[in-house]
Structure 1
Amino acid sequence: MSETDRPEKQEPLTPQDFDAYRRIAETQQPPAGYDVTRLVAMRLVDPDPYTPGRYIPHDPRAAAQSITAAALDGLSAIVQRLNQVPTLERLAADFDPHRLYGGPGSEFLPSAAQMNARVGEVCAAAADEICSIQPGEPADRDPAILRLGVERTRSALLRSVRVHSLYHRSAHDHAQTRDYVAAMTADGAEVRASSTPGPRLVMVDRQHLFIDNHVIDGAEGNSGWHVFDRAAVAWVRSLFDLFWNMAVRWQDIGVNVSPLSERQWRILRELSAGYTQEQVGPRIKLSRRAVDKEIAAAREALSFRTTFQLMAWYGRAHRGSPTAR
């Protein structure tokens, strides 16, 4: 709609306008000095072509209908333009695909109650995975909260959601934490422990991240942030993988029975000493194929995907575990 198509803004009729119209409707002259232009523009009166200075009144209802029709035409044009908005928004997918918008950002949750409520809400809707890191020394927690955590985990696992939880190694000596982890692993969760403290976090479906507050000074100690920026969450997911791959399976800590055989320990010792897999075989009187099979069996026993993970685990076990040989 161009500027010339838009109807002129009409000011409300004044008492003077009402008085002038009444006079004209009674075949009188409008008051001296009154400007009849507004009444003419609204089609309430027209100049009398046969009697200069006099005016012919029109039915106000016809003028009202004219204004209504003009307004409806204007609204129809507005509706047509608004109907184009969804189509234009769909075109955004074709606007420079490399400009991937990460998301709206994050929200601050100023109390432990709000953090727990939001974590519970998001975990209840998890469809793929829940990852968490619980760093630092363990402490006794409210049994009701622990039960809630077990119920959340069990509910997620029943929906085929993968649950990966990482604890500090010291948590293995904490009875309450051991019982909690035992309940989780019995339901199918994967739990590991690390001597390297990581940041406390909960991550859901690579879309939601819950972290401690490091922004607002003076906030409650258990306040935190719910982050849903895609780039930030993806970066933290890679950080979680780094901690996870360096950790030891929970069930391998503090046990007297090694998950590996004596032969597998011998192979790992040789590899750790710098010998290649080709060189290890002759040294311990095994074929290369047998060495490869033992390494593969050791990876499977420890749920590792690569030999690099296996050797990293061996290095940690050799330094800190009484089961290392």
Structure 2
Amino acid sequence: MTGLPDLPLSPDDRETYRAVANGGDVVPGHDVGRLVSLGLIAPNPDRDGQYIAHDPRGAVQRALSQVQETITRAAQCMAELPAVEGLTAAYDAHRWYSGLSELLETRDEMNARIAQALRTASSEMWTAQPGAPVDRDPEVQRAGMERVLDLRARSISVRSLYNVAVRDHAATAGHLAAAVEAGAEVSTLEEAFPRLVIIDGTHLFIDNCVRTNGEDKDAGWHVTDRATVAWAHTVYQHMWARATRWQDGDVSSEMLTERQKAILRALEEGEPQHGVGPRLGLSDRTVTKEIATARSAVGAQTVYQLMAWWGRQQAQA
């Protein structure tokens, strides 16, 4: 492609041209390369070291021709770019490209986007709720049950994974039992696990783990990246395989809560007391309090006596 003229002129170029045009010598120390390349001056064949000035209008015409040719070539190249881009179909034929991740800055935005994805859902809604149970507005629970009924009526798989502590929370337990009766699958897990929602294996909703100061604690991400959603789907299946179905909940030692049983199972498996909290998503203070409550419930004076009692209960189960 023809290059563009070497412009603009510098103040030194202008001063040099005026000196040459007035019959004077080149200004000492000034470079004449740009003036020569533009055809504004040329070496004097009769006198070494001196230059002859040419009409600037001729230089302008030559520069315009260069610019026009460059524009023409550039336009031709631009017109060919769609044809070049059209070759991507051959390149992409054996490749997958992912989607994107979008930060939803409030709980309302998260709920609205989940509802939008559910309206077009065709195969599954899998959720994982690791938080401790709370007393919810009956209207919220009613809306949740209506959603379960709607999804099941559309033959959509509904799976819900909860913290084992929900078994001790009467309101939540009643709601989940009704969901199971409606055809949903519900399981509980004793260990810590991430909060997430997967819809149709193409939408993933997760907590905001890149939170900065000032952001809403309920902010989250809507992920449609195929690789990430597939990975989360696999993680969910692993968690589900380790969980206990709602119908198969441990009915032994009714003197203890499900959270207390989870703590004792962790200790039984060799977990040190300081390691139980991170495993179950509990604080050390909560673990200590629950162990003390369990000891009181079964009449044990020490943790060793509590574990001995627990062992006997498991042997009789």
What TM-score range do you get, normalising by the shorter chain? 0.5 to 0.7
Q: Residue 67 of structure 2 corresponds to which residue in structure 1? A: none
Q: Residue 123 of structure 2 corresponds to which residue in structure 1? A: 128
Query: Where do 1:21-100 residues align within 5 Å?
Result: 82=82, 85-86=85-86, 88-94=88-94, 97=95, 100=96
CA distance in 2 between counterparts of 1:139 and 1:229 reads: 32
Q: Residue 143 of structure 1 corresponds to which residue in structure 2? A: 138
Establish whether residue 209 from structure 1 lines up as the match of residue 204 from structure 2.
yes
Q: Residue 110 of structure 1 corresponds to which residue in structure 2? A: 105
Q: Residue 29 of structure 1 corresponds to which residue in structure 2? A: none
Q: Is the 8 A contact 1:209 1:233 kept in 2?
A: yes
CA gap 1:79/1:180 in 2 versus in 1, 3 angstroms: farther
Output the aligned Cα RMSD: 4.2
Q: 1:239-259 CA deviation, whole Å, 9 max, x = no partner? A: 211211111111222558xxx
CA distance in 1 between counterparts of 2:199 and 2:227 reads: 14
Q: Residue 166 of structure 2 corresponds to which residue in structure 1? A: 171
Q: Residue 188 of structure 1 corresponds to which residue in structure 2? A: 183
The answer to which of 229-238 and 83-92 deviates more is 83-92
Deviation at 1:215, TM superposition (A): 0.6
CA gap 1:157/1:321 in 2 versus in 1, 3 angstroms: farther
Q: 1:275-310 CA deviation, whole Å, 9 max, x = no partner? A: xxxxxxxxxxxxxxxxxxxxxxxxxxxxxxxxxxxx
CA gap 1:193/1:324 in 2 versus in 1, 3 angstroms: farther
CA gap 1:249/1:106 in 2 versus in 1, 3 angstroms: same
CA distance in 2 between counterparts of 1:93 and 1:201 reads: 32
CA distance in 2 between counterparts of 1:246 and 1:320 reads: 24
TM-score (normalised: structure 1): 0.52
Deviation at 1:90, TM superposition (A): 5.0
Q: Residue 63 of structure 1 corresponds to which residue in structure 2? A: none
Query: Where do 1:154-165 residues align within 5 Å?
Result: 154-165=149-160
Q: Residue 245 of structure 2 corresponds to which residue in structure 1? A: 249
SS class of match (1:202) = strand
SS class of match (1:163) = strand
Q: 1:34-68 CA deviation, whole Å, 9 max, x = no partner? A: x999xxxxxxxxxxxxxxxxxxxxxxxxxxxxxxx
Q: Is the 8 A contact 2:164 2:189 kept in 1?
A: yes
CA gap 1:77/1:144 in 2 versus in 1, 3 angstroms: same
Q: Is the 8 A contact 1:254 1:322 kept in 2?
A: no
Q: Is the 8 A contact 1:126 1:205 kept in 2?
A: yes
CA distance in 2 between counterparts of 1:136 and 1:179 reads: 17
Q: Residue 119 of structure 1 corresponds to which residue in structure 2? A: 114
Q: Residue 235 of structure 2 corresponds to which residue in structure 1? A: 239
TM-score (normalised: structure 2): 0.53
SS class of match (1:209) = strand
Deviation at 1:212, TM superposition (A): 1.1
CA distance in 2 between counterparts of 1:228 and 1:124 reads: 16
- In structure 2, the gaps of 5 or more residues are 3-55, 59-73, 253-309
CA distance in 2 between counterparts of 1:249 and 1:195 reads: 12
- In structure 1, the gaps of 5 or more residues are 5-34, 38-73, 257-317
Q: Residue 299 of structure 1 corresponds to which residue in structure 2? A: none
Residue-pair matches, total? 211
CA gap 1:185/1:90 in 2 versus in 1, 3 angstroms: farther
CA distance in 1 between counterparts of 2:140 and 2:128 reads: 17
Q: Residue 222 of structure 2 corresponds to which residue in structure 1? A: 226
Deviation at 1:81, TM superposition (A): 6.0
